[in-house]
Structure 1
């Protein structure tokens, strides 16, 4: 007999949990505080263009994502594109992302290029991440690539993504990011990335329909104020001030919200959640009348730019206008995160004009900024051991977010894989 199970959060992981539960004969009820499903993958209306607030792309190794497309009959809407990478360095736009580009890169010695290339290559061949789990990332990279390649190709990426946390990150976490991009190549010289026709919204809507068709519910604008716990067991949830009974609750909301929503957890568990750190993001989306470059991803190392890179999304997914994402990652407690949107919009306009001097004011159709307080967990050495267990010492309660598939970086496919597995484990 199927059970009625509460799922907190309708991002990709929460939807994946509900999707699997519904397919296994249960009645999931998904509670989402936002007015739409998707979390960080949710789309918004950008003056007539429906597009994600934060950029997403797919790699050929994203098996869990591709499996769901097959199950939902969406596989024929997947498109694969040969994309390019670039590097903005010393006021010069250079090709990047393959051995020839590395050899021709201006601003690095031959020895530094060799050491950098060898490290990247070995990262794609490594399978066992455990030896890197307790290793600090910046020291690990510097030992491999040397101080010259570190300064040119790595340091600003750390500085402008992690700020004060830069010197205490897990090498396993950084390794997984190098490997994922390396494995998106279908040859040594060519990179292939994917997009879904209609964007992530195509998948999200189809998953939501599948959940509801099998007896599940998705309740938008329904913020769970509290998970009700009594006698070491889940009793239900309080939604918009009203209690509702459930004997099983699965939470996929960002972990920093957990102590607020589950104040009755044991103190030692609460302390473990409270100790976790996250970086926020202010992501500016620019709509232009002309292209910025020919690259999908552009790394930047420029003293006048406080970003590690930008994404020219329309060099992956063709659209009527040229769309560029410029993410400013910054700790939520940093004063920069409190600056008004206009500060970030002005910076982006200035940066893009510097990269492509042919851009004029009239080429900027519109710019918009989105903010997400808990965009990126800070994974320090030994991170996994500090996370509370997914199945908490409260009967009927499971908690996870994107942090739990460490050392993998957050992504739609990883969220789907973890969410479905969590749902299957609950069935057991």
Structure 2
């Protein structure tokens, strides 16, 4: 028997929201997506960078990104995916060194042999581990120190924590850090080679494909149309209020960042509102640069330099061929940190200095264009036992589901994870019967 069509509001048109709407439309329902931005994509959205359409924030794909690769095939976009053997580097003690394979580790200058062996063993075992539950309530920096020792932690890890999480760096979940190590480790097609993927046209290719599929099946996507409030009456969802007025829906699925939920759904039970209020996020100021020539030969460059307040940078055109050369330099920090209030030019000046230090062959004239983008809720701060403190996605209001990238902890935020989770969330929401 064919399922009865339901009219379901989806809040947010990032990858998770689009995946929810796509699955609902596939299953014969009528999703209506509300998006505050003037384009779909959220953190994957593209912008016009001096004639180049490119994401505001970098993305790459791993061979383990099954949900992403599956939806590409469904949309007929699989042939636009390309895999590249990429390189990693490490900037340490004013020296650019290879990184990311056993030989690079053994020849790394500035670290003793025992520290190298302990670091390598930890990375290898993390890649092989499948069960994250024993790490869920373990604090990450202590876990890493116990495995790799004080020397390797100081050289290879400390600044990565300090310049992403600042005061929060000593209270992060080991399960969350482990999932990042494993994802990159499993992107290798041999012990000495890593393989990452890019999509022709970037993430916009996927976003356009999802949007077209949703609309072809009768769904709607309303841009520049933020939801103002989810209306609840007698413990049930009634619909959504926007600037245009009230609109009735059978159900609502929110995929906007969790810090917005309390404002969107003020009538939630006080205990649930308190759970949302306790969640913290890291902000990002991400500088994207056009260069006349490469900075290095690496896609990913980790950085440990007392003169640079970044944990690393991404030389994107060493993955996806672009002319001119493009790199991303993310500055992570808590949104309440004074640095987040500094003007864009402060960050642009830092990037120029850092790049010319890493590659002394660069001069001012090599910088063709630079832009800075900001995202206040870029990264959830996942402390030990994080999942235990999240309200369930199915909230104690009939017809209401709430989730964002936090909900697939311990996996880090990513397009594939958002798609997989979003499709599952759509099926769960559509299958749930509401009280008569």
Name the TM-score class by shorter chain.
over 0.9
Q: Distance in 1 between matches of 2:76 and 2:227?
A: 33
**Match of residue 20, structure 1, among 23, 44, 52:** 23
Write out per-residue CA displacement over residues 118-160 of structure 1, whole angstroms, 9 at most, x where no aligned residue. Answer: 0000000101000000000000000000000000000000000
Superposition deviation, residue 427 in structure 1: 2.5
User: Does 1:220 pair with 2:229?
Assistant: no
Q: Which residue of 1 aligns with 2:263?
A: 260
Q: Which residue of 1 aligns with 2:137?
A: 134
Q: Which residue of 2 aligns with 1:156?
A: 159
Computed over aligned residues only, the root mean square deviation of the Cα atoms, in angstroms, reads 0.5
1:426 is paired with a residue whose SS is helix
User: Unaligned regions of 5+ residues in structure 2, if any?
Assistant: 432-436
Q: Distance in 1 between matches of 2:285 and 2:323?
A: 25
**Match of residue 6, structure 1, among 9, 17, 21:** 9
User: Does 1:251 pair with 2:254?
Assistant: yes
Superposition deviation, residue 426 in structure 1: 1.6
Q: 1:69–1:203: 8 Å Cα contact kept in structure 2?
A: yes
For 1:183-202, list aligned pairs within 5 A: 183-202=186-205
The count of corresponding residues between Structure 1 and Structure 2 is 428
2:297 is paired with a residue whose SS is coil
Q: Which residue of 2 aligns with 1:40?
A: 43
Q: Distance in 1 between matches of 2:308 and 2:358?
A: 11
User: Unaligned regions of 5+ residues in structure 1, if any?
Assistant: none
2:10 is paired with a residue whose SS is strand
Q: Which residue of 2 aligns with 1:381?
A: 384
Superposition deviation, residue 10 in structure 1: 0.1
User: Does 1:61 pair with 2:64?
Assistant: yes
Q: 1:286–1:323: 8 Å Cα contact kept in structure 2?
A: yes
Superposition deviation, residue 241 in structure 1: 5.2
2:336 is paired with a residue whose SS is coil
Q: 1:11–1:37: 8 Å Cα contact kept in structure 2?
A: yes
User: Does 1:269 pair with 2:272?
Assistant: yes
After superposing on structure 2, the runs of 4+ consecutive aligned residues of structure 1 that deviate more than 2 Å are none
Q: Distance in 2 between matches of 1:273 and 1:218?
A: 27
2:228 is paired with a residue whose SS is strand
**Match of residue 308, structure 1, among 305, 308, 311:** 311
Q: Distance in 2 between matches of 1:59 and 1:169?
A: 24
Q: Distance in 1 between matches of 2:416 and 2:272?
A: 28
Q: 1:17–1:422: 8 Å Cα contact kept in structure 2?
A: yes
User: Does 1:94 pair with 2:97?
Assistant: yes
Q: Normalization by structure 1: what TM-score? A: 1.00
User: Does 1:343 pair with 2:346?
Assistant: yes
User: Does 1:146 pair with 2:154?
Assistant: no
Superposition deviation, residue 29 in structure 1: 0.1
Q: Normalization by structure 2: what TM-score? A: 0.98
Q: Which residue of 2 aligns with 1:425?
A: 428
Q: 1:7–1:28: 8 Å Cα contact kept in structure 2?
A: yes
Write out per-residue CA displacement over residues 353-373 of structure 1, whole angstroms, 9 at most, x where no aligned residue. Answer: 000000011000011000000
For 1:390-401, list aligned pairs within 5 A: 390-401=393-404
**Match of residue 286, structure 2, among 283, 288, 303:** 283
Write out per-residue CA displacement over residues 50-94 of structure 1, whole angstroms, 9 at most, x where no aligned residue. Answer: 000000000000000000011011000000000000000000000
1:224 is paired with a residue whose SS is coil
Q: Distance in 2 between matches of 1:200 and 1:385?
A: 32
Q: Which residue of 2 aligns with 1:231?
A: 234
